[in-house]
Structure 1
Amino acid sequence: MRDCKLSLTALLTLILTISQPIANLPPLFQASQVLAQTPAERKVEADRLSQQGLEQYKISQFEAALQSWQQALIIYREIKDRKGEGKTLGRLGVIYDYRGDYTKAIEYQQQSLAIAREINDRSIEGAALGNLGLAYDAKGDYDKAIEYHSLSLAIAREIKDRKGEGESLGNLGIAYDSLGDYAKAIEYQQQRLVIAREIKDRKGEGAALGNLGSAYYSLGDYAKAIEYQQQRLAIAREIKYRLGEGAALGNLGNAYYSLGDYAKAIEYHQQSLAIAREIKYRLGEGQSLGNLGAAYNSLGDYAKAIEYHEQYLAIAREIKYRLGEGCALSNLGIAYFSLGNYTKAIDYQQQRLAIAREIKDRLGEGQSLGNLGAAYHSLGDYAKAIEYHEQSLAIAREIKDRLGEGQSLGNLGNAYYSLGDYAKAIEYHEQSLDIAREIKDRLGEGQSLGNLGNAYHSLGDYAKAIEYHEQSLDIAREIKDRLGEGQSLGNLGNAYDSLGDYAKAIEYHQQYLAIAREIKYRLGEGNALGNLGNAYDSLGDYAKAIEYHEQYLAIAREIKYRLGEGAALGNLGNAYYSLGDYAKAIEYYQKSLAIAREIKDRKGEGTSLGNLGGAYNSLGDYAKAIEYHEQYLAIAREIKYPLGERYALSNLGITYYSLGDYAKAIDYQQKTLAIAREIKDRLGEGQSLNNLGPAYQKSGNLPEAEKTLRAGIEVWESLRGRLGKNDSYKVSIFEQQARTYRILQEILIAQNKIKEALEISERGRSRAFVELLTSRLSDKNTSQIPEKPTVALLQQIAKQQNSTLVEYSIIYNYFKNQGKQETQESELYIWVIKPTGEVTFRKADLKTLWQKENTTLAKLVTTSRNSIGARGTAFRGIDVTYNPNAPKAKNNLKRLHELLINPIGDLLPKNSSDRVIFIPQGALFLVPFAALQDADGKYLIEKHTLLTSPSIQVLDLTRKQKQQTGTKPIEGKDTLIVGNPTMPFVAPKIGETPQQLIPLPGAEREANAISKLLKTEPLIGKKATETTVVQRLPQARFVHLATHGLFDDIQGLNSGIALTPSGKDDGLLTASEILDLKLNAELVVLSACDTGRGRLTGDGVIGLSRSLISAGVPSVLVSLWSVPDAPTALLMTEFYQNIQKTPDKAQALRQAMLTTMKNNPNPVDWAAFTLIGEAE
């Protein structure tokens, strides 16, 4: 077993020092000390020197022992004592082995072996063979080590030396451990243990238990490793074997270190150090100091780590222990690496490499090369990193070091990952994973799975990334690796952040933070805080993001982690950039840039330059933006970083686009696209096509723009296909891709391709919803792909629905405002499909809203709702007073009518019972269409029967669902009515303290009134538990929920219906939980606060309505705001009375609205409800 064993990963190098078993020394002979005159007296003197050397050796006085044995050798040769000569040569070989001079060690053992064979001394022959095995093991030549140990074992068995047999078995176990064949290692150590117990060799028993602990340690089974080391410790203390006690304490320290319990590791290493100093065991003292340095390095206390490693280095040099000297130098390099001082790190690793080559330590040579690769990786010099890792890999394969081979493959994977060559990264990580599984290295298996997760994350395959990170997390928990558990949780947090599930991302990062603080891992604490900052930045909570990044910055500065300091400053820059404070963003980017240059972090330097370019682009200073992006491009090309080259070229293309130089913009984006395709970066390919299309559009090349964006859509849809049936993933991913669909519509309209533009508009909305519904309606075991929405299909749906379909699409464009490029609403596209199949296109100009009226369509929708007194946007734990403004409301509702209805008024049916189905987009989902007023003051509901749907294709699927559920008259026994549950506690915002929602006595009265009408019993108050509701939902044909509806506007599937908490649940039935149900209801009514809202994304109403439809409900009636109690009770009673007379739910709702309007003319009282899905 080696004194210094390094696990090499590109991002973190772990240091593990395991005590080396004492070599098998030949039997000792003692004689009294007399004057050396006669040959007999000379022999006595030689024997005395031999014994003296042994005592010196035991307390690590290797130089003194060497001199004693060299003097003894001279006398033995002089008096021709071949036996004494043979033994002494073997002992000298052991000294050279400890000094790391394996060539000399082997030379002496070979001489000892030759003499033993010459004089036919099987005991010395066995010892020499065993020591040759140890020397070859130390050299990393494990096959030869096994060969010699096997020969030694055979001799021990032949001469019936049970103790020697046990030692040989133990040494074979150590060799197989080094080879990574842990099963065989355990087998041999178990055999040694049996012999030691049989012959009552307590010291040998302790050694066997310790080596079993080391084998389980290598397997990553730290609990078992600790168990064996504790047994070894107990024996050492019982027989007062201080050396064994110190070794056991050191190995326990290593086990707790690997578990991430650094405080406990330090405690054990301190005890081991005390024993080594007490027994004057200098080698053990050095090893304990090295282990303490490793623990403090992991805690982020690099100054203390360096102090301990320097003490180890001094001892190693003092006792001329070259192997230890190399390890100390390497560990110093790792400490400086952790500090971000890569130049110093490289210097120390080069010194260690020189020693490894000098003493022919192939294992150490491979490790040094791997560490050099890690340092160059962090400097952003990936070509050099790969070169070093390939050399390290070659050595690992040559010496059959399977563990080292797996680590080198992992490092190569990380290097290609950083280059953006994810396909190659995956290839290497899969090879690394295979080896880890083959040699049962659970720790390595977990790390490989985590690395694969990161690679798939960068490819945009988030489902696969999460799958790998969850496997990695399971292993970390199984082997009680707290550090690995924390890192896996952090990786899962990053994956959910990319998916847009910020609540889940924050939850995972908080768990990582808790673990990092528990194990006092300051670096991990900083990383977790930084990730939390990024998640809050994505959420748009920039104040909180800044708070977290400042905490990370403070830790990085405290532990002198310059790389982290630069990252925190860059993240602060990003937060201020998002706030629109470009001056402050630039200030932080400049500081980050200065650190990157100081520590020679070329990749970080490029990133900072790119950020500065982005900030100046947003300021409208395009010349400066180009200057910075060109500097980033030069660095990316210099360090052969294709991903960075792609970013820089893309940013240059965007800047030239802003300048109106479309030819140059096209040129840069084409280069970007070529790189993305070359490195098989599908996400990057989609982004490049998305940027290239508008450049062709502006240059007037509309056919090429169309072709490019169609290719972009194919990329997006192939990426979504990787997410399988996971609805929540698809939704958030789709939102990032909506721009491609919008611009393509614009290009098609410009070419007068009206119908093709409608197909793209439809294809660009509710795709995840459509895919999920299609899949659920088909055979459950097959993932059915929905047909693409052709105009013929859309016409067929209009005919089947016997309805006029109105599809809206909001078009955005870049406009210059005070020298800056800003995205603003440009036009509203409207398609009308009549039941006859006739398709008409109209459009409305939206520019006048922000150019002349100081508003936008989105703002107009919000002010319309506010002016009629619509509530629902405030948190439900706080009662808010709203003051309706009737004249303003009238004006707003008329203005919305002008924009949304006037352009198509002539196309709508004249018969008020004929249905009109609106397909809104974005903020238009919030529009109370029923309340829109024409110039004569007539409301739209007075002229038409209205419904809404997230897309036209969804109507086809809800119709099919309706065919499956069938139609039955409404009866009390088939209904589930819930009113005013005992409210749960819910956090107003992610990360805030939960508050109890306010009770809804009006909802209780509503539920009682409807129950009386339908002759059934409602679930009120404490009876309305989530458990009861979930049990009854699948059997109900009609469901009425009068309670709070909560909406997470960032991630809609965290939206929920408030119910009574019970022991098993939290009282919030979330949209994602509803998705897992199989419902058979014809209709679900959500008569609650705000339940019609959901997140207003391009994928439609993400919230509860979509989850209910996906779970099998064809018709959902939702309220767009919190309606006053009395009008709601009236409207709902009317609605249910109408439903009992007619199966047409849209007609029933219209009549209920008209009746309520007579007594309550304010639209806030009657216009909140909208029917989504099927009318009948």
Structure 2
Amino acid sequence: MFHRFAFALSSTLILSSAFPHQPTGATPPPLAALPTAPTTTAQRQPLSIYQPLHTIPWEGFYFTKLGMAYFATEPLKTNFIQRPELDELSAPTLAAQPLPVHRMLDPKKTGWELVNYAIAAGLDNQFDRAMNAYKRSLQIAKEIGDHELEGLALGGMGLLRAQKGFYDVETIDVLTDYWRWTREHQNPKAEAIALSNLGNAYFASDLYLKAIEFHQKRLALARKLGDRAGMGRALGNLGMVQQALGNFDKALALHQQQWDIVRQGQDIVGQKMALANLGIAAHGLEDYAKAIDYQTQRLKLAQQTQDPRTEAEALANIAGAQYFLGNYDRAIALYEQAWTIAWNKLQDADILYGLRGNEGLAYFQKGDYAKAMELYQQYFRYISSRNNRRGEGLVKNNVGVLRMQDGNLTNAEKTLRDGIQLWDNLRDRLGNQDAFKISLFDTQTVPYVNLQSLLVQKNQIGSALEVSEQGRSRAFAELLQRRSQPLKQKITDNPPNLEHIKQIAKQNNATLVQYSVLAEIHKSKAQGNDPALKPQESELLIWVIKPTGEVFLRKSQFLASPNWQQQAHSLSDLVADSRSAIGVRGRGIRVVAKQITPENDPPLQQLHRLLIQPIADLLPQKPDDLVVLLPQQSLFLVPFAALQDKDGTYLIEKHTIVTAPSIQVFDLAQQQRQRLPQRNLFAQPLIVGNPKMPTLPSVADETPEVLESLPGAETEAKSIGQLLQTQPLVGAQATESAVVQQMSNASLIHLATHGLLDDFQSSGFPGAIALAPTNSTDGFLTADELLNLKLQAELVVLSACNTGRGRITGDGVIGLSRSLFAAGVPTVLASLWAVPDAPTSTLMTAFYETLKAEPNKARALRKAMLQAKQQYPDPKDWASFVLIGNP
């Protein structure tokens, strides 16, 4: 759903550094007096992105002067004191000169004094002196063989660099050296700290896979040591990574485990961390009341322990929840309260500028754009100087939005494009981890929406189409490229430009129809029936690229459509209503029962008016000419074949249609077809029907459920097997292992069985095909397992319920069909709902009979649908199937 990414959640890295040119304890400077715009929200407002304040929990440094001495053998009991002999040794001007250790009367003592000097200098924000002192002490330690001093210097140096925001190769190298030192000297407690800080350094560098790797190592070590506090910190750190990836459900579960551990003891620091994490995860799930509750508990602990940093962060994040609840004045007051605490007691630039940025968003929603820009520009200039691509990309989107609202479209376009490029680089860092790329991309689609809207305002239609294509199915396209190219060949994830898009339409003699859903900010209902800020679909851009290379853009402004508010609250609602109108019900889809009458505009006709009528004159006149539909978001669930015009004519009666998640994926599917062995489609068919059904995994104390047998599917399989002159696998023969074995060489695969939407293995890839279980297999061929197969089938038919559905993301539908494409299949025929046995058997038989004479699968499906429609007029019986990919 759109709201999962429109206000993307991204943890700010709160790192200690002085606010420039202001004395500690000074009164905060007042905001400049600026002209105030009317306090009303614009009717069309681009999508801004909010981020909470959140500190990376570096271990060994708890933001107190005593805490910095965690690595030292003795606590530091005094503030930084100038010592001439140590000042000289650590002077930046002498840093490159060799240290005459052999001339020292007591090098060991000097080395230890340098470490304490470095700790104190670091606390006094004298970074260069501190680093030089650490380096000098490390040199002494290595020359005299003092391993304890060596470890202390390495640990302190890496921690100081990380804490100061230097997330670079040198920092990671130093932290890695310290980790190796802990292992070499068999110091598991120090190793735990090293693993945590190294994982956090990778996280701060936006290298999420490495962060997860080291936090999991830390968790395993803590469990081995029986270190419950360490377990809590590791779980919290893993949850922070999942939050950055947009996996809020997983993050919440990890943080709940963290809280369950820390609340049992006296680990107040751990409790404050866990409550912070729980609050941010709840916010990401739009449970603002719960988010406020967690942050309020954290605030009370901060005040009890006199912890100004946590107090400021908690106030800021409560303000963020109030912002989403529409209480802008309350949010601004809380931000000012937090800023005063941070200014007087912390002087931390990341917190201070972060507060100004979020406060700017509140002024933006009030309609005070001048003050919003003044505040956000402060944050923009600061974050641009930091090594934080995630934060910088987010800030660039918001500055772009403010510039759009101010009418500065040229600068807004550049800023949005810069932010998109930064986030593209973040995904590149995830390597081959498809699931992570999908979830991360779900948090990053807002700039594409804003940039499309801007380019359309500038009447740059071709550029807007390129951005629409760039903002969809990126991970899917890269996955297909990676699977099809040699291992050593570099993958270039470049979406097609306008000329390439025209070429694709010409080469396939196809009319491409790309839908792009735009959104605006509006008030809606949050949990607990409180008003909240949410994006709502406001306009549908429909691009048509004809085989001649002509490009057209039509708009469908459905919020302005007659009776829209009476009939549906969103495009997703209308799609659900259309499914309800034809008697379709399924898990995960909102269904609102409505009596369909001419007076209230039947949903199938209303969808036709929104999706097809604006472009009807641009579609081909010949029914056999190909139309490629490229949906987005909830439109993936639309039964396009069953959409009716005002005369009651179904779309399939006029056009031959195929779907794809993006133009690039459609093109890659054609390339996959060309790479397959040149053989007849029916050379080696695999037909499966009504396997001996497996048992669903039990939930809690429920009795395990055996899936219902499908005798109609068995009849279908035998009928098709006879038609194609092959013996189908049915009943106990259709085991998971037997089917998988035959799939690898099959030219055509037909699976008539149950399709499930569940994510059994919590892999992020929902969907499974029910097959007969064995002693070694559970009988569920999951989407994740399909993803790892290498198939040579030209066509896979999933004659089962819901096989065309899955988890809808910015990358498309994540489910069975996507996994089959990744396995090498160029064309998939899947269903959008549970299909009745008799009509399906009729349709499938007609499909294969037509396909034997007509090699074009899209035309064969159209003829089969029309034939089935004659016998079974209800769309529920014939309109479920969609052809995806190569026609």
Q: Which TM-score band (shorter chain)?
A: 0.7 to 0.9
| Cα deviation 1:776-834 (Å, max 9, x = unaligned) | 33322223204342111000001111111100000011135698643211100000001
State the one-letter code of the partner of 1:905: A
Task: Number of aligned residue pairs: give it.
Answer: 787
CA contact (8 A) 1:373 1:386 kept: no
* SS class of match (1:737): coil
For 1:1020 and 1:454, how far apart are their aligned partners in 2?
A: 52
For 1:502 and 1:620, how far apart are their aligned partners in 2?
A: 22
> Cα 1:634–1:948, aligned 2, differ >3 Å: closer, same or farther?
same
Q: Which residue of 1100, 1112, 1122 maps to 2:824?
A: 1112
CA contact (8 A) 1:415 1:425 kept: no
| Cα deviation 1:762-788 (Å, max 9, x = unaligned) | 111111111222233332222320434
CA contact (8 A) 2:695 2:707 kept: yes
Cα deviation for residue 720 of structure 1 reads 1.4
Cα deviation for residue 1053 of structure 1 reads 1.8
The answer to whether the aligner puts 1:954 opposite 2:665 as a matched pair is yes
Alignment-derived partner of residue 240 in structure 1: none
State the one-letter code of the partner of 2:879: A
Q: Which residue of 614, 617, 637 maps to 2:320?
A: 614
Cα deviation for residue 436 of structure 1 reads 4.3
> Cα 1:987–1:373, aligned 2, differ >3 Å: closer, same or farther?
farther
| Cα deviation 1:554-590 (Å, max 9, x = unaligned) | x645423333443454456557656766566545433
Unaligned runs of 5+ in 1: 1-336, 507-530, 535-547
* SS class of match (2:556): strand
Calculate the TM-score normalised by the size of structure 1. Answer: 0.61
State the one-letter code of the partner of 1:811: L
* Bigger shift: residues 810-819 or 767-776: 810-819
Which is higher, the Rg of structure 1 or of structure 2? Answer: 1
CA contact (8 A) 1:802 1:835 kept: yes
Alignment-derived partner of residue 1098 in structure 1: 810
What do you get for the CA RMSD once the two structures are aligned?
4.2
> Cα 1:622–1:371, aligned 2, differ >3 Å: closer, same or farther?
farther
> Cα 1:1125–1:913, aligned 2, differ >3 Å: closer, same or farther?
same
| Cα deviation 1:593-631 (Å, max 9, x = unaligned) | 121122132331121011121122223332332232234
1:386-785 aligned at under 5 Å gives the runs: 398=140, 400-414=145-159, 416-418=161-163, 420-423=165-168, 425-433=171-179, 435-436=181-182, 448-469=194-215, 495-496=241-242, 498-500=244-246, 505=250, 532=253, 534=255, 548=256, 552=259, 556-570=262-276, 573-574=279-280, 582=288, 585-636=291-342, 639-785=346-492
For 1:645 and 1:1030, how far apart are their aligned partners in 2?
A: 57
State the one-letter code of the partner of 2:730: I
State the one-letter code of the partner of 2:583: G
Cα deviation for residue 647 of structure 1 reads 2.9
| Cα deviation 1:465-517 (Å, max 9, x = unaligned) | 234456667888999999978976775565455435678x58xxxxxxxxxxx
Calculate the TM-score normalised by the size of structure 2. Answer: 0.79
The answer to whether the aligner puts 1:856 opposite 2:577 as a matched pair is no
> Cα 1:1072–1:992, aligned 2, differ >3 Å: closer, same or farther?
farther
The answer to whether the aligner puts 1:917 opposite 2:645 as a matched pair is no
| Cα deviation 1:369-412 (Å, max 9, x = unaligned) | 889979x99xxx89599999997886676555334533553355
Alignment-derived partner of residue 723 in structure 2: 1013
CA contact (8 A) 1:1078 1:1111 kept: yes
* SS class of match (1:1084): strand
CA contact (8 A) 2:642 2:879 kept: yes
CA contact (8 A) 1:921 1:1100 kept: yes
| Cα deviation 1:23-82 (Å, max 9, x = unaligned) | xxxxxxxxxxxxxxxxxxxxxxxxxxxxxxxxxxxxxxxxxxxxxxxxxxxxxxxxxxxx
Alignment-derived partner of residue 1122 in structure 1: 834
CA contact (8 A) 2:292 2:318 kept: yes
* SS class of match (2:828): strand
> Cα 1:341–1:753, aligned 2, differ >3 Å: closer, same or farther?
closer
> Cα 1:986–1:970, aligned 2, differ >3 Å: closer, same or farther?
same
> Cα 1:950–1:693, aligned 2, differ >3 Å: closer, same or farther?
same
Unaligned runs of 5+ in 2: 1-58, 82-105, 525-529
State the one-letter code of the partner of 2:203: H
Cα deviation for residue 651 of structure 1 reads 0.7
Q: Which residue of 1142, 1148, 1151 maps to 2:860?
A: 1148
> Cα 1:650–1:558, aligned 2, differ >3 Å: closer, same or farther?
same
Alignment-derived partner of residue 978 in structure 1: 688
* SS class of match (2:716): helix
1:1046-1125 aligned at under 5 Å gives the runs: 1046-1048=756-758, 1052-1125=764-837
> Cα 1:718–1:705, aligned 2, differ >3 Å: closer, same or farther?
same
* SS class of match (2:805): coil
CA contact (8 A) 2:279 2:294 kept: yes
CA contact (8 A) 1:363 1:396 kept: no
Alignment-derived partner of residue 198 in structure 1: none
Q: Which residue of 509, 516, 527 maps to 1:802?
A: 509
* Bigger shift: residues 651-660 or 1017-1026: 1017-1026
CA contact (8 A) 1:811 1:825 kept: yes
> Cα 1:600–1:342, aligned 2, differ >3 Å: closer, same or farther?
farther
For 1:737 and 1:657, how far apart are their aligned partners in 2?
A: 21
Cα deviation for residue 1006 of structure 1 reads 2.2
Alignment-derived partner of residue 606 in structure 2: 895
For 2:164 and 2:705, how far apart are their aligned partners in 1?
A: 47
State the one-letter code of the partner of 1:668: L
Q: Which residue of 750, 764, 773 maps to 1:1040?
A: 750
* SS class of match (2:737): helix
For 2:619 and 2:688, how far apart are their aligned partners in 1?
A: 38
Cα deviation for residue 364 of structure 1 reads 14
CA contact (8 A) 2:151 2:182 kept: yes
The answer to whether the aligner puts 1:944 opposite 2:651 as a matched pair is no
Cα deviation for residue 855 of structure 1 reads 2.0
| Cα deviation 1:299-342 (Å, max 9, x = unaligned) | xxxxxxxxxxxxxxxxxxxxxxxxxxxxxxxxxxxxxx99x997
Cα deviation for residue 1077 of structure 1 reads 1.7
Cα deviation for residue 354 of structure 1 reads 6.8
> Cα 1:1058–1:443, aligned 2, differ >3 Å: closer, same or farther?
farther
For 1:991 and 1:761, how far apart are their aligned partners in 2?
A: 47
* Bigger shift: residues 580-589 or 1139-1148: 580-589
Cα deviation for residue 363 of structure 1 reads 9.1
* SS class of match (2:765): helix
* SS class of match (2:784): helix
CA contact (8 A) 1:693 1:706 kept: yes
Alignment-derived partner of residue 124 in structure 1: none
For 1:1071 and 1:370, how far apart are their aligned partners in 2?
A: 56
> Cα 1:1065–1:1084, aligned 2, differ >3 Å: closer, same or farther?
same
Alignment-derived partner of residue 586 in structure 2: 872
* Bigger shift: residues 696-705 or 1012-1021: 1012-1021
> Cα 1:470–1:966, aligned 2, differ >3 Å: closer, same or farther?
same
State the one-letter code of the partner of 2:464: A
* SS class of match (2:490): coil
State the one-letter code of the partner of 1:919: L
> Cα 1:471–1:353, aligned 2, differ >3 Å: closer, same or farther?
closer
Q: Which has the higher contact order (CA 8 A, sep 6+)?
A: 2
CA contact (8 A) 1:1007 1:1018 kept: yes
> Cα 1:364–1:869, aligned 2, differ >3 Å: closer, same or farther?
farther
Answer 1 or 2: which has greater helix percent. Answer: 1
> Cα 1:930–1:363, aligned 2, differ >3 Å: closer, same or farther?
farther
* SS class of match (1:1041): strand
For 1:558 and 1:347, how far apart are their aligned partners in 2?
A: 27
> Cα 1:342–1:675, aligned 2, differ >3 Å: closer, same or farther?
closer
* SS class of match (1:460): coil
* SS class of match (2:266): coil
CA contact (8 A) 2:245 2:443 kept: no
